[in-house]
Structure 1
Amino acid sequence: MTRPLFLFLALFLATGSFAAPGGVLRVIDADTFDIGGVRVRLFGVDAPEMGQPCASGGQKWDCGRWARDVVRDRFEGQRARCTQQDIDRYGRVVATCDVGGVDLGAALVSDGIAWAYRRYSSKYDLDEKAAAVAGRGLWGFDVERPADYRAGQAAARNAPETDCVIKGNISKSGRIYHVPGGRDYDRTAINPSRGERWFCSRSEAEAAGWRATRN
């Protein structure tokens, strides 16, 4: 654990309140920054992933790189003051940030550089609606929302090399199988080291002791 992150965690445990990272902003990608030596994931927004494709008018490009470069041109090297909301599973501080009196999340969403991340907050809903109506930035492109893109990439990495595409997953609910098109199919990963496996048919899965998901 880095020293700045350790200090933030120690302050939270001691006081019951979150610390506030602040300092010069360095852009990592369109929603992730180094601020005063602390890695910060911007709260309530979701920007395209590096390598995620955009398309428009027959042209394709790296949407994550495009978004990062736009944010870098506008905000790199400026001073930011952040209010910490959480720490994510990667150890990053999740925070809202202010740059020169501007809410950074609101600026990115209203200009079509990122989407409101409703899984975690509705804070930027109206900013997103304004960007969509005006067709700004991402709203003028053919592009997936990042969460859908990440789920698709994870499913592709985990796909079998055969036509046996039913996922036999083991969880606290027991041995469950998921078929393509099911609610949790794309986000379910198969780990053979845990006894999970792929099946070619429902009957094969049920004969092996797996049951269908109830979702």
Structure 2
Amino acid sequence: MKKQTKILKISTLKIIFLIIMLFCVNSFSANMYKVLYVSDGDTIAVKKTENNKETGNLIKVRLYGIDAPELNQDYGYASKEFLIKLIRGKTVRIEGNKNDRYGRVLGTVYYNNENINERMVATGNAWWYEKYDKKNIKLKQLQENAQKNKFGLFGRKGYVTPWEFRKMKRNRK
């Protein structure tokens, strides 16, 4: 009787493990997208991929917690080019399901399990967007390190944050 109980417990654990694994695989693959276009240093356009095929509509994704220079701002094209080299044409995982006021998905993008949002800040290609991601201490530290080491846009004198740049542009109108 003890042997049957032990076998039953092992079988039950195996079944639970398989169910968990099945759930993980399905939730992981449900978030895979091919990057078709990079608009700027913090916005991409993707399509969902299933069985290595693109499906569904084009989805615009705003990288959550960061703000890159505008294209008509100093370092704007350099930021965009950096993001292009990182992920254009690649299959990425995106976490996030909220939309911004422009209808873009707010997401954290991962390529080969690397957080691309963090990489953009760590290399000085974007700012930590504190206003919308106040509690993200990691992005704060990555930005401080990039500023200290003068990485990317932080190597330039008199840089202006994108939110200040947009405000100045609005005030000129």
Per the normalisation by structure 2, the TM-score is: 0.71
Work out whether 1:27 is the aligned partner of 2:48.
no
Provide Cα deviations, 1:47-85, integer angstroms capped at 9, x if missing partner. 0001012xxxxxxxxx21121012112221111111115
1:67 aligns with 2:82: no
- The 5 Å alignment of 1:49-128 reads 49-53=70-74, 63-122=75-134, 123=136, 124-128=139-143
Structure 1 residue runs of 4 or more that deviate by more than 2 Å after TM superposition? none
Instruction: Note the C-alpha offset of 1:21.
Output: 4.6
* Matched-pair identity in %: 28
> Residues of 1 paired with 2:71 and 2:122: CA distance?
21
Describe the SS at the equivalent of 2:96. Answer: strand
- Letter of the aligned partner of 1:35 in structure 2? V
- More helix per residue: 2
- Indicate the SS of the match to 1:40: strand
Residue identity matched to 1:111: T
How far apart, CA to CA, are the structure 2 residues paired with 1:46 and 1:132?
Answer: 15
Q: Gaps spanning 5+ residues in structure 1: where? A: 1-19, 54-62, 158-215
Please give the secondary structure, in 2, of the residue aligned with 1:89.
Answer: coil
Name the Cα RMSD after superposition.
Answer: 1.3
Greater relative contact order (Cα 8 A, min sep 6): structure 1 or 2?
A: 2
Separation in 1 of the partners of 2:163 and 2:34? 29
Aligned counterparts of 2:97 and 2:172: Cα–Cα separation in 1:
32
Q: Deviations over 1:93-112 (max 9, x none)?
A: 01111111100111000000
Do the aligned partners of 1:22 and 1:35 also contact (CA within 8 Å) in 2? no
User: 1:1-215 alignment to 2 at 5 Å?
Assistant: 21-25=31-35, 26-36=37-47, 37-53=58-74, 63-122=75-134, 123=136, 124-142=139-157, 143-157=159-173
